């Protein structure tokens, strides 16, 4: 695409570039988009972990159990959100 003699990619190259970004598997994008809502449901857990180091270590050692205790399903998005706030 940087050839100075050509103003842009050919149609064939454009087609190849479109194909390079296929859709994300169902549900992944939506889960990431829900992070702001998910974050609120983790606030209590995170606040306690930030004020109690032993509890923080316990949570980090078993994120799934910690999420289950606050009624959040331990899906990849929730695990990632909790880990991101505690590390």
68 scored as a contact of another protein (CB under 8 A): no
Q: Minimum CB separation from another protein for residue 54, in Å?
A: 23
Please pick, from the candidates 24, 47, 65, 68, the single residue that binds another protein as defined by CB under 8 A. 24
33 scored as a contact of another protein (CB under 8 A): yes
Q: Residue 72's Cα: distance from chain center in Å?
A: 15
65 scored as a contact of another protein (CB under 8 A): no
Please pick, from the candidates 28, 44, 50, 68, the single residue that binds another protein as defined by CB under 8 A. 28
Q: At what angle do helices 35-51 and 76-86 cross, to 10 degrees?
A: 40
Residue with tokens 């390079």: 20
Distance CA 27, CA 3 (A): 39
């Amino acid at each position: 695409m940087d050839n100075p003699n050509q103003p842009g990619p050919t149609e064939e190259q454009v087609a190849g570039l479109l194909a390079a970004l296929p859709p994300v598997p169902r549900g992944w994008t939506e889960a990431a988009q829900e992070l702001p809502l998910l974050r609120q449901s983790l606030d209590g857990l995170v606040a306690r972990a930030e004020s109690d180091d032993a509890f923080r270590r316990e949570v980090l050692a078993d994120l799934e159990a910690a999420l289950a205790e606050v009624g959040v399903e331990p899906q990849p998005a929730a695990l990632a959100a909790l880990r991101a706030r505690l590390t």
